[in-house]
Amino acid sequence: MAKKLSIPGKRVPQGKYSAFVPDPLPPKLEWTSRLIGVLSDADRAIGKLAGEGGRLPNPHVLMRPFIQREAVLSSKIEGTQATLGELLASEVGAVVDRSPEDLREVGNYVVALEHGIARLKQLPLCVRIVRELHDKLLTGVRGQEATPGRFRKTQNWIGKPGSTPGTASFIPPPPDDVEPCLAQWEKFLHESTLPPLITIALAHYQFEAIHPFLDGNGRVGRLLITLFLIEREILPTPLLYLSAFFEVARRDYYDGLRGVSERGAWNDWLEYFLLGVARMSEDALRRAARMNGKLSEWQKKIAGESTNAPLRVLELLVANPFITAKGASDRLGVAFTTAQRAIERLQRLGIVEQSGEGKRDRVYCARALLDILEEPAHLKPSI
C-alpha cells in the first residue's frame, strides 16, 4: 500500500482564494534506496567537476563565459530571447539585432551573480544577499516597477498569462508572511545538517514557494543554487549551472515544485534536482575540457612566434570568443597596431574569423569556442 503523503504547509483563506504558507524546513524525508542512489551519483559527478575543474588550465578564465551562458539560459526560462552569441558580441561593442532591454536583462544576471560571489567573502548566504541580488537583477529593466530589492507588499500568484487568483495554479504566502517565512528559510540554510545537495534542493523549493518578490523570483532562486555551492566550497569556481537542465525539462521542473506543495512529493523533487546536478556536472566538465583542448591546440599552432601578442590575445578569447583590436589593445596594454596584427595572425591560422562586414571597428570571433558554449546540453531529463 502506497504511503500517504502530507502537504508541507497550510492553506490560508484570503477571501475568494487561499494562499499557501509552507512549513519550516526540513521536512521528514524518506531515505529510499532510489534517493540514496541518485544523491550518490550527484555527489560523485559534482566532486569530479570540482576536482578536475579545479585542475583545468583556465578555471577562473572559463568562469565568465559559463556565467554568461547561465545568464542567457536562466533568462530564457523567463521569456527573454537574447542568445549567448548576441550577449558576448555586444560586450565587445558589436551591434546586434536584439533589443537593448533583452541584453540588459541578461547582463544584469551576470552582474548579480558576480556581486553575490563577492558578497560571500563578507556574509553567509542570507536574506540580505537575496535582496541585493534582486536589486541587481531588476534595476533598469522590465520589472523595474516590481520594486528591485524589496519584498512584495501585495499578493502575487503563478498561472497562465491573464490568470487571476481564482484561476492561478499556485498562490504563495500572503505579504505579511513573506519575511517570517524567509527568516525560517535562512535559519534552515545556516543550521541544516543534511547533505549539502539535499539542503539546497529543499531550500530552492522553499524559496520558490515563498515567491517573495513581484518579479524575478525564478532567476534569484537559480542564482542562489550557484552561490550555495560556492559558499559551501563544493565547487572552487561557479562552473555548474542548472538552468539548462530546468529549461530542457521545464515541465518536470514545475511539476516537481507543484508536487511538493500539492501532495508532499519531496522524493520526486529531490530525485529530479539531483539528476540535474549529475547531468549538468558532466556537461560542464565536457564543455570546459573541450574548450581547453581547443586552446591547447591553438597554442601549439602559434608556438615560436617572434612576439607573444598572438598568445596573449588567444587567452582573451577564452573569456569571450569575440574580440576587437581596440579591446585587445586596452586589455593587454599594447599598441592598437600590435593588437590588430596579432588578431590578423590568428585569422590567417583559422582561429578567428571576422564577424560581419564592417571595415572599421572590426569584430572577430573564435567560432569553435562559441560553438562549444552555445551547443545545447545533451540531457535526458527522466531518471
The grid coordinates of residue 157 equal 500568484
pLDDT at 175: 96
Per-residue pLDDT averaged across 317-346, rounded? 93
pLDDT at 174: 97
pLDDT in tens, 4-52: 678 999 999 988 899 999 999 999 999 999 999 999 999 999 999 988 8
Query: In the chain, which residues fall in CATH 1.10.3290.10?
Result: 32-282
- Under 8 Å between Cβ of 19 and 172: yes
Burial class (CB in 10 A: 0-12, 13-18, 19+), 370: buried
| Nearest CA among 218, 208, 209, 197 for reference residue 270 | 197
Q: Which amino acid is at 36?
A: I
Per-residue pLDDT averaged across 56-84, rounded? 80
| Nearest CA among 161, 268, 155, 249 for reference residue 205 | 268
The grid coordinates of residue 96 equal 546586434
In the predicted structure, residue 2 carries a pLDDT above the cut 70:
no
d(CA 267, CA 260): 9
Within a 10 A sphere around the Cβ of 334, how many other Cβ atoms? 17
Query: In the chain, which residues fall in CATH 1.10.10.10?
Result: 302-374
d(CA 373, CA 366): 11
In the predicted structure, residue 379 carries a pLDDT above the cut 80:
no
**pLDDT class of 3 with cuts at 50, 70, 90:** low
Per-residue pLDDT averaged across 195-218, rounded? 97
Give the CATH fold of the 32-282 domain: Fic-like fold (1.10.3290)
Q: What residues does 324 pair with on adjacent strands?
A: 363
In the predicted structure, residue 359 carries a pLDDT above the cut 90:
no
pLDDT above 90 coverage of the chain, percent: 62
135 versus 376: which is more confidently predicted?
135
Q: Which residues of 84-111 are buried (b: 16+ CB within 10 A; e: fewer)?
A: bbbbbbbbbebebebeeebbbbbbbbbb
In the predicted structure, residue 225 carries a pLDDT above the cut 60:
yes
- For the ranges 15-19, 138-142, 179-183, 202-206, the lowest mean pLDDT is seen at 138-142
d(CA 122, CA 133): 15
Q: At residue 20, what are phi and psi to the nearest 5 degrees?
A: -105, 125
d(CA 281, CA 279): 5
**pLDDT class of 140 with cuts at 50, 70, 90:** confident
In the predicted structure, residue 250 carries a pLDDT above the cut 50:
yes
pLDDT at 1: 40
> What is the pTM assigned to this prediction?
0.90
| Domain made up of 302-374: CATH architecture | Orthogonal Bundle (1.10)
Q: What is the mean pLDDT of the chain?
A: 90
- For the ranges 195-209, 234-248, 328-342, the lowest mean pLDDT is seen at 234-248
In the predicted structure, residue 208 carries a pLDDT above the cut 70:
yes
| Nearest CA among 21, 374, 379, 70 for reference residue 219 | 70
- Under 8 Å between Cβ of 309 and 342: yes
pLDDT at 271: 97
d(CA 13, CA 296): 62
